[in-house]
Amino acid sequence: MRLSRYFLPVLKETPSEAQIVSHRLMLRAGMIKQASAGIYSWLPLGYKILRKIEAIVHEEQGRAGHIPMLMPTLQSADLWRESGRYDAYGPEMLRIRDRHERDMLFGPTNEEMITDIFRCHVSSYRDLPMTLYHIQWKFRDERRPRFGVMRGREFLMKDGYNFDLTREDALHAYNRHLVSYLRTYERMGLQAIPMRADSGPIGGDDTHEFLVLAETGESEVFYDSEITDLKFGDRKIDYDSHDECRAVLEEFTSRYARTDETHDPELFAKVPEDRQRQARGIEVGQIFYFGTKYSEAMGANVVDPDGNRVPVHMGSHGIGVSRLVGAIIEASHDDKGIIWPEGVTPFHAGIVNLKQGDEEADAACQALYDSLVTMGLEPLYDDRDERAGAKFATMDLIGLPWRITVGPRGLKNGVVELTCRRTGESEEMPPEQAVTRIGQIYARKV
C-alpha cells in the first residue's frame, strides 16, 4: 500500500478522553474512531489488525478440528426465557423491540442459540463429538464503557461450543481448547496465562481465564513466577489425544495462578516466597465446562449407544478478538508508539523514502516494494512529500516491526537502512539483502 492512497488519519495530539495507553495509541495511530459511547469504527489500519487476529483464531480453531459457522447478532428473547437467563441477565443485555412488538436482544453470548441449533439437528451420539464456533459482534451495555476497545459495548468475540456424550469427552474438549488457545495467543506474540476463574453468568464449575500481564490490567492476579517460563512453542500435538491435551493442561495449570476472584491466600502462601508474584492482568479469553446446564433446560438430548436419551455435556470457550487489539498494544509499546509482534502486524515492513521525487530514490523504493510484494508480503510505502522526521514518527507510532529507509546518500553507496522497531537498531545493507532478511523473518514466523 502506498500511504498517499491510504486513509491513515494519525493524530498529533494525545486525545484527552483516553485513559490507558492502548486507547491513546489506537486513536493517535488512526486505528479507530469512536462512533458513540463504547462503540467504535475500525479505520483501515485498525481493521487490518482485527482481520489478522481473526485469521489466526480461525486457523487455530481449524487445526483443533472445530467447525466455523455464524450466528446472527440479534436473538429472540424466547430462547433466553427457556434457559431462564432472560430475566437473570442484568441491564448489560441490550433489549430491543421490533416493529411487531416482539422482544429481541443483541446477543452478549450464544449458549441458548447454539443449543437450539443442536437440538433441532442432532439426535444421536454418532454425531458427537462436535465443536462449533463463530466470530461475531456482541453487545454488552456497559454502564460506563471506557478504555477504548478494551471495555467497549459492541465487541468482536470468538465463541465456541462443544457437545459431547460424556463428562470425560467434554473435559477433553475443555483441555483441547486450552491447548489451542495457548497456541493462538503465542502466535499473536502474547503470553496469556491460564488462571483458575469464576464462572459468572455462564455457569459451571470448571473454568479458566487467560490473562496477559500488563500494568493497566483490570484484574489483580497472583501467580507462581515459574509459570512465566512456560512456552507452548512449536510442539506438535494430536488434538484427538486425550492424554496429550491433558498433559498440556496439567503442565500449564499445576502452578498457582489465580485472579482476585478466586485467590486463596493460604494456598498462595505455600508457593516459595521468592516465586510469589502479584501483578495485574488483562483477560483475553475464557473456557468453561458447564455439563448439562443448558442441554437439560432446553432439551438437547442424544440417544446413547444403549438407546437411552441423555442430555449432552457442553462447554463454551471465548476469545475477545477486538479486545486483543488493545491487549497486544498494552503489552507491546514504547514512548514512540505501538510495536506490533510480527504475527499480527498490519504491514510487514515500512518503506520510507527520504527524498520523494528524487528519481533514484523513487525507483529504489518502488523496486523494494515490488520485491516484497512478490514474496507475498505487504509493505507500506510512505511516498508522501513529507520531511523525514514526520515519516519516521508516523512509522514509529503505527508500529510496523521493520522499516527500510531509502535516501539518495545511501543509494550512492549502494545501501539502504533496515531498522528494527523493537530494538531501534539500524543496519545498512544493499536493498536486495534487506528484502531477503525480511523474507526470512516472516518465513520463520508463519
Chain residues binding a copy of itself by CB under 8 A are: 5-7, 9, 30, 33, 35-37, 39-44, 46-48, 50, 65, 67-76, 91, 94, 96, 98-99, 102, 104, 106, 113, 117, 120-122, 127, 130, 132, 134, 137, 139, 141, 143, 153-154
Residue closer to a copy of itself (CB basis): 124 or 308: 124
Residue closer to a copy of itself (CB basis): 144 or 444: 144
Q: Residue 207 and residue 195: Cα distance in Å, rounded?
A: 8
Reported as half-sphere exposure (CB side, CA atoms, 13 A), residue 23 has a value of: 20
- Ramachandran angles phi, psi of 33, nearest 5°: -140, 135
Residue closer to a copy of itself (CB basis): 101 or 335: 101
Residue closer to a copy of itself (CB basis): 30 or 281: 30
Residue closer to a copy of itself (CB basis): 11 or 267: 11
Cis, bond preceding 129 (omega within 30 deg of 0): yes
Residue closer to a copy of itself (CB basis): 204 or 346: 346
Shortest Å distance, C-beta 46 to a copy of itself: 8
Residue written as cell 492424554? 243
Shortest Å distance, C-beta 431 to a copy of itself: 26
Shortest Å distance, C-beta 186 to a copy of itself: 25
Shortest Å distance, C-beta 94 to a copy of itself: 7
**Contact between residue 20 and residue 400 where contact means Cβ atoms under 8 Å apart:** no
Shortest Å distance, C-beta 437 to a copy of itself: 27
Nearest to 25 by CA among 137, 142, 147: 147
Residue 35, Cα to own-chain centre: how many angstroms?
22
Contact residues for 278 (Cβ-Cβ < 8 A; gap 6+): 220, 221, 222
Q: Residue 114 and residue 409: Cα distance in Å, rounded?
A: 62
Residue closer to a copy of itself (CB basis): 104 or 230: 104
Q: Residue 198 and residue 290: Cα distance in Å, rounded?
A: 12
Cis, bond preceding 108 (omega within 30 deg of 0): no
Shortest Å distance, C-beta 17 to a copy of itself: 14
Shortest Å distance, C-beta 30 to a copy of itself: 8
Q: Which three cell numbers stand for residue 222?
A: 497472583
